[in-house]
């Protein structure tokens, strides 16, 4: 018998000879292979399209920031040109193949491409911006940097400063806020909430806000107790210690009262902490004619003037800063220096100058 015969001696047909052991024909296997290859090609193309779309969104945010306006449709022609060049380099594509996707005509692309080869328009401004940012100890955003530049005779618009800082990654180190609740129950009857979240005063020493916050470093805990004048947010007085006891709160209030002139009797607003219900605090208030006011139970927005001050302080001085290796004394010295800087030098955008300079300009402070 020949090789083409089965056990019964019947020769195999041509079709039988082209089937595998599973009964599939070679032609069917080729079709299946081609179909799988076609599917893989479509999937790779779809993956490439998605990668390009994601890169367009990511790079647009890099150009415009992360606000609501960070949309590819909001890019200028120069921005679209940068986007095309970036995508071409990122995906090894020809720029002309990306023009339609980015909404850019060929002539506009080449015209803007020539401009991008020229020196940056704001290159001269970068060094003054960097110096101002470093002098703010890397705490200022673009608005305060813009104010500092104006004080130095550099007249440019704030948006220009913002774009330059964004483009070169010049930004303060900030951390997202988290809600906290320090309410620990009632210790004694509390005075009424006379402020009711209206933290505005027409003159200094009309309305004060007090609170306590803590900082944790490697060596232990440090507490800050300030009095904030709601007229302009000035820290009138403060005390720093290692535990939130009555002594630092009372010391801070005595220091604040020492700045009062005859006839000045501010409302002193606080949360419901035990520091503001102890006899020592109450005696100081009565001796200087202060009117006590307290927030509702466990409601930090009711003391927003002090909480807002703590938020700014911790964003600029504490969060993302390397204080873990500081000793307690070193940390207290650094915090004291920051508070003096905040009062005397930090630019308040509402005034375009520091709180102290604003008061001096109004004749309210020597």
- Look up residue 331 and give its DSSP letter: H
**How many Cβ atoms sit within 10 Å of the Cβ of residue 100?**
10
Instruction: Please indicate whether residue 265 or residue 24 has the higher confidence score (pLDDT).
Output: 265
Q: Average pLDDT for residues 89-103, to the nearest whole number?
A: 86
Question: What whole-number distance in Å separates Cα of residue 304 and Cα of residue 269?
Answer: 10
In the prediction, which pLDDT does 237 show? 96
> Cβ distance 72 to 87 under 8 Å?
no
Question: What whole-number distance in Å separates Cα of residue 228 and Cα of residue 93?
Answer: 59
Q: Which of 66, 320, 17 is nearest to 173 (CA)?
A: 320
- Look up residue 317 and give its DSSP letter: I
Beta strand residue intervals within the chain, DSSP E: 207-210, 213-217, 220-229, 234-241, 267-270, 291-294, 347-348, 353-354
> Cβ distance 336 to 240 under 8 Å?
yes
Question: Tens of pLDDT along 8-65?
Answer: 555 555 555 555 555 668 888 888 888 999 999 999 889 988 998 888 888 888 877 6
- Give yes or no for residue 318 having a pLDDT over 80: yes
Question: Tens of pLDDT along 209-255?
Answer: 999 999 998 888 999 999 999 999 999 999 999 888 888 899 999 99
In the prediction, which pLDDT does 360 show? 93
What's the pTM? 0.59
- State phi, psi for 20 to the nearest 5 degrees: -85, -175
Instruction: Please indicate whether residue 118 or residue 262 has the higher confidence score (pLDDT).
Output: 262
Share of the chain above pLDDT 70, in %: 87
Question: What whole-number distance in Å separates Cα of residue 265 and Cα of residue 268?
Answer: 9
Q: Average pLDDT for residues 302-330, to the nearest whole number?
A: 89
What is the homologous superfamily of the domain 207-362 according to CATH?
Ribonuclease H-like superfamily/Ribonuclease H (3.30.420.10)
Question: What whole-number distance in Å separates Cα of residue 298 and Cα of residue 197?
Answer: 14
Domain locations along the chain: 43-117, 123-168, 207-362
Question: Tens of pLDDT along 130-174?
Answer: 999 988 888 889 999 999 999 989 999 998 999 888 888 888 876
The HSE-up count of residue 247 (CA atoms within 13 Å, CB side) is: 5
Question: Tens of pLDDT along 180-219?
Answer: 544 455 556 789 999 999 999 999 999 999 999 999 988 8
Confidence of residue 179 (pLDDT cuts 50, 70, 90): low
> Cβ distance 109 to 95 under 8 Å?
yes
């Amino acid at each position: 018998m020949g090789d083409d015969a089965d056990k019964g001696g019947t020769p195999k047909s041509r079709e039988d000879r082209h089937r595998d052991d599973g009964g599939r024909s070679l032609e069917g296997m080729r079709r299946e292979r081609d179909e799988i290859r076609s599917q893989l090609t479509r999937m790779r193309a779809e993956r490439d399209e998605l990668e390009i779309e994601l890169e367009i969104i990511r790079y647009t945010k890099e150009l415009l920031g992360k606000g609501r306006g960070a949309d590819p449709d909001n890019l200028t022609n120069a921005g679209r040109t940068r986007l095309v060049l970036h995508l071409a380099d990122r995906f090894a594509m020809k720029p002309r193949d990306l023009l339609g996707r980015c909404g850019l005509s060929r002539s506009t692309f080449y015209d803007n491409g020539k401009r991008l080869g020229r020196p940056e328009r704001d290159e001269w401004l970068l060094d003054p911006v960097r110096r101002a940012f470093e002098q703010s100890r890397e705490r200022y955003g673009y608005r305060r940097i813009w104010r500092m530049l104006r004080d130095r005779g550099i007249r440019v618009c704030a948006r220009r400063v913002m774009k330059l800082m964004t483009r070169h990654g010049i930004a303060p180190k900030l951390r997202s806020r988290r809600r906290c609740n320090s309410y620990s129950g009632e210790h004694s009857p509390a005075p009424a909430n006379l402020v009711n979240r209206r933290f505005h005063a027409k003159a200094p020493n009309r309305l004060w806000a007090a609170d306590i916050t803590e900082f944790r470093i490697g060596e232990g805990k440090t507490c800050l107790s300030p009095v904030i004048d709601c007229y302009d947010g000035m820290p009138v007085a403060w005390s720093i210690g290692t535990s939130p006891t009555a002594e630092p709160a009372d010391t801070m209030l005595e220091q604040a009262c020492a700045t009062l002139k005859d006839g000045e009797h501010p409302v002193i607003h606080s949360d419901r902490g035990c520091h503001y219900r102890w006899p020592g605090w109450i005696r100081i208030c009565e001796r200087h004619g202060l009117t006590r006011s307290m927030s509702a139970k466990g409601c930090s927005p009711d003391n927003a003037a002090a909480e807002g001050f703590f938020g700014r302080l911790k964003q600029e001085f504490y969060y993302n800063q390397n204080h873990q290796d500081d000793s307690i004394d070193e940390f207290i010295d650094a915090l004291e220096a920051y508070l003096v800087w905040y009062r005397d030098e930090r630019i308040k955008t509402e005034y375009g100058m520091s709180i102290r300079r604003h008061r001096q300009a109004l004749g309210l402070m020597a």
